[in-house]
Amino acid sequence: MTSAGGDIDVDERLDALASRERILVALDFDGTLSPLVTDPMAARATPEAARAVAALAATPGTTVALVSGRSLRDLRIIAEHDDGSPVWLAGSHGAEHWRPAGAPPRMRPVAGDDERLAARSAPITAHAHGFVQGCEGAWIEDKAFGFALHTRVSSPEVENDAQRRIDVYMAESAPEWRRRTGKHVLEFSWRHEGKDTAIAELRRASEAEAVVFAGDDVTDEDALRSLHDGDLGIRVGAGETAAHVRVDDIPALAGLLSDLAARRAR
């Protein structure tokens, strides 16, 4: 574990978090709790990460949430999440939510043009599939509010070509959609929520006095930049970050989360 630019003592911050009456621990899933895999639906949390999440969720005053770009349906599958779980979920970058029975209701955004945009989504996504035909290894994932181009197994040349094709198409067809990049992923969504808005809503609903957020990719930086004084932002792996600390990999994050759980259980 190393400093990522934040001038904090991590041990002291963990002690402070352990002493708070209510905290929120919000975690990205892919690349943070689960290794990145070629088949997105084959992703699963490592045993160490799953144990750390369970330990935190069992400590008094601790709300644990998964905050992911995955659709809520897919997130529940890969997280092996059922209706008896205490773990809150924010899918589609915070546009979809699931909470345990008895949790405060979600503060829903104004619908605005959602019906019109939703009606346009299906044909736009259908056309996107055609733009990557012939791009070896590239494929389109249909998502709740748009689509994602995956190029993890494509060559750099094919990846660049596929992304260029999709960018040109979307600039012409749906320039108002939100564009996001990630590790070999290019995503477009007609809903504009980000992980920063997801964290704000989860903080409000859980009445958390402080927040821990961990992520490994570009879209997680929205949430990391939104954190308050006294919060703890964690970057998993390399890359520019607004996090307070950086851990090398998933086992290192699991160790940190387990440490926090142990301190809160004392």
For residue 69, give the nearest of 149, 207, 232, 180 by alpha carbon. 180
Question: What mean pLDDT comes out for the span 66-91?
Answer: 97
Whose structure tokens read 């750099």? Answer: 156
Rounded distance, CA 217 to CA 242, Å?
11
Question: What mean pLDDT comes out for the span 22-49?
Answer: 96
In a domain, 113, yes or no: no
Mean pLDDT of the chain: 93
Q: Which of 189, 214, 243 is the last residue in one of the domains? A: 189
pLDDT for residue 51: 98
98: its two tokens: 């699931």
pLDDT for residue 119: 79
Q: Which of 144, 161, 189 is the last residue in one of the domains? A: 189
* One domain, residues 176 and 206: no
**Total tally of structural domains belonging to the chain:** 2
In a domain, 184, yes or no: yes
* Burial class of residue 102 (count of CB atoms within 10 Å of its CB; 0-12, 13-18, 19+): exposed
In a domain, 112, yes or no: no
DSSP string, 97-112: EE--TTSPPP-PPP-T
Whose structure tokens read 């440490």? Answer: 259
Range of the domain at 15: 2-105+193-265
* One domain, residues 90 and 141: no
What beta strand segments (E) does the chain contain? 2-3, 23-27, 62-67, 88-91, 96-98, 139-143, 146-150, 178-182, 185-189, 210-215, 232-236, 245-247
Could you give the angle at the alpha carbon of 48 between the alpha carbons of 153 and 84, nearest 5°?
95
pLDDT for residue 110: 47
CA 63 from centroid of its chain's CA atoms: 16
**pTM, two decimal places:** 0.87
pLDDT (tens digit per residue) in 153-178: 999 999 999 999 999 999 999 999 99
- Residues 6 or more apart whose CB falls under 8 angstroms from that of 182 comprise 69, 217, 218, 219
* One domain, residues 185 and 197: no
Rounded distance, CA 211 to CA 62, Å?
10
* One domain, residues 127 and 100: no
The DSSP bridge partners found for residue 146 are 143, 189
* One domain, residues 197 and 248: yes
For position 74, which CATH number holds?
A: 3.40.50.1000
Q: Is the pLDDT of residue 98 over 90?
A: yes
pLDDT (tens digit per residue) in 107-138: 655 455 677 777 789 899 999 999 999 999 99
- Residues 6 or more apart whose CB falls under 8 angstroms from that of 183 comprise 31, 36, 152, 216, 217
* One domain, residues 17 and 98: yes
* One domain, residues 45 and 146: no
Active site residues: 28
Is the pLDDT higher at 21 or at 109? 21
pLDDT (tens digit per residue) in 182-209: 999 999 999 989 999 999 999 999 999 9
* One domain, residues 98 and 230: yes
Sign of CA dihedral 238, 243, 244, 245: negative
* One domain, residues 99 and 10: yes
Q: Do residues 218 and 230 touch, judged by C-beta distance below 8 A?
A: no
In a domain, 110, yes or no: no
* Burial class of residue 167 (count of CB atoms within 10 Å of its CB; 0-12, 13-18, 19+): middle
Rounded distance, CA 198 to CA 90, Å?
7
* One domain, residues 171 and 75: no
* One domain, residues 100 and 223: yes
Q: Which of 167, 189, 211 is the last residue in one of the domains? A: 189
The DSSP bridge partners found for residue 62 are 23
* One domain, residues 139 and 99: no
